[in-house]
């Protein structure tokens, strides 16, 4: 809107208009969707109420898209009047702002100062200004579209990076789980190896010791059992 606000200010300065405005036409081309003003303070705009939608004289410019100059717009039969609290306006000059052959909006001037109506020279000046404004508006739109495209591209890159990071985290968690499992298996293998080494280090048990109920255990101590409590001799040996 800063470009549009500058446009209406320059238009008023070049023509001596007390009031100036730019109405932006909606995509359907039927009414105004934005209305930028110069010459009205915030209190005056608030007192007038909602911005115009493009009826009456403003609607004529939307339909015909060509310059319109009036000495007294209130006497034109196409005028529909003003809303309450609207400042009085008589002299009027309207010029379309075209971008790529399509009406972007209309530039409005009212109340030529110090008196009288707008001249043919004013109209020519506004036609040139409208053409320059169209280029500025188009360039501003291109900058905004480029910025939007870059923002979308950056968001896509961030989403892709987030996906890669999530995948890497998942792989890391799985890798840590595998490492923990391997560590547990290695610890168990070490424990079994130690126990086997401990058993291998114990002295062998003789036949006499076995008959007396002596058997080795893993804590390297000997348990002596009474012969009557020893393991029974297998059936194959009972007759010998």
Looking at residue 72, its pLDDT comes to 94
Q: What is the structure's pLDDT at 171?
A: 76
Does pLDDT of 39 surpass 90? yes
Tokens for 81, please give them.
């009047």
Of 15 and 153, which is predicted with more confidence?
15
Q: Return the minimum-mean-pLDDT range out of 18-27, 119-128, 162-171.
A: 162-171
- pLDDT above 90 coverage of the chain, percent: 28
* % of the chain at pLDDT higher than 70: 68
pLDDT 10s digits, 104-163? 889 999 999 988 899 999 999 999 999 888 887 777 654 444 444 555 566 667 777 777
Averaged pLDDT for residues 173-182: 69
The answer, as to whether pTM is greater than 0.85, is no
- DSSP labels, 48-113: H-SPP-S-HHHHHHHHH-S-EEES-GGGSTT-----TTPPP---EEEEEEEETTEEEEEEEEEEES
Query: Whole-angstrom distance between the N-terminal and C-terminal Cα of the chain?
Result: 116
69-83, 84-98, 215-229, range with the lowest pLDDT: 215-229
Q: What are phi and psi of 83, to 5 degrees?
A: -70, 165
Residue 37 CB partners (closer than 8 Å, separation 6+): 8, 19, 20, 21, 45
> What is the pLDDT, as a whole number, of residue 194?
72
Mean pLDDT computed over every residue of the chain: 77
């Amino acid at each position: 809107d800063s470009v549009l606000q500058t446009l209406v200010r320059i238009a008023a300065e070049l023509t001596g208009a007390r009031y100036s405005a730019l109405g932006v036409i909606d995509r359907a081309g039927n009414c105004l969707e934005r209305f930028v003003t110069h010459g009205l303070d915030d209190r005056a705009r608030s007192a007038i109420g909602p911005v115009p939608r493009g009826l009456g004289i403003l609607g004529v410019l939307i339909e015909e898209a060509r310059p319109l100059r009036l000495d007294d717009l209130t006497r034109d039969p196409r005028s529909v009047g003003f809303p309450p609290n609207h400042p009085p306006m008589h002299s009027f000059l309207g010029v379309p702002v075209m971008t790529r052959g399509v009406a972007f909006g209309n530039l409005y001037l009212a109340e030529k100062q110090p008196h009288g109506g707008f001249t043919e020279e004013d109209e020519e000046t506004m036609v040139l200004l409208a053409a320059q404004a169209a280029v500025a508006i188009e360039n501003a739109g291109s900058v905004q579209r480029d910025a939007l495209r870059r923002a979308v591209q950056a968001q896509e890159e961030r989403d892709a990076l987030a996906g890669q990071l999530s995948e890497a985290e998942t792989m890391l968690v799985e890798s840590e789980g595998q490492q923990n499992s391997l560590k547990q298996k290695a610890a168990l293998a070490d424990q079994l190896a130690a126990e086997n080494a401990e058993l291998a280090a114990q002295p062998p048990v003789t036949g006499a010791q076995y008959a007396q109920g002596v058997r080795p255990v893993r804590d390297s101590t000997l348990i002596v059992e009474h012969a009557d409590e020893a393991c029974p001799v297998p059936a194959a040996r009972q007759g010998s």
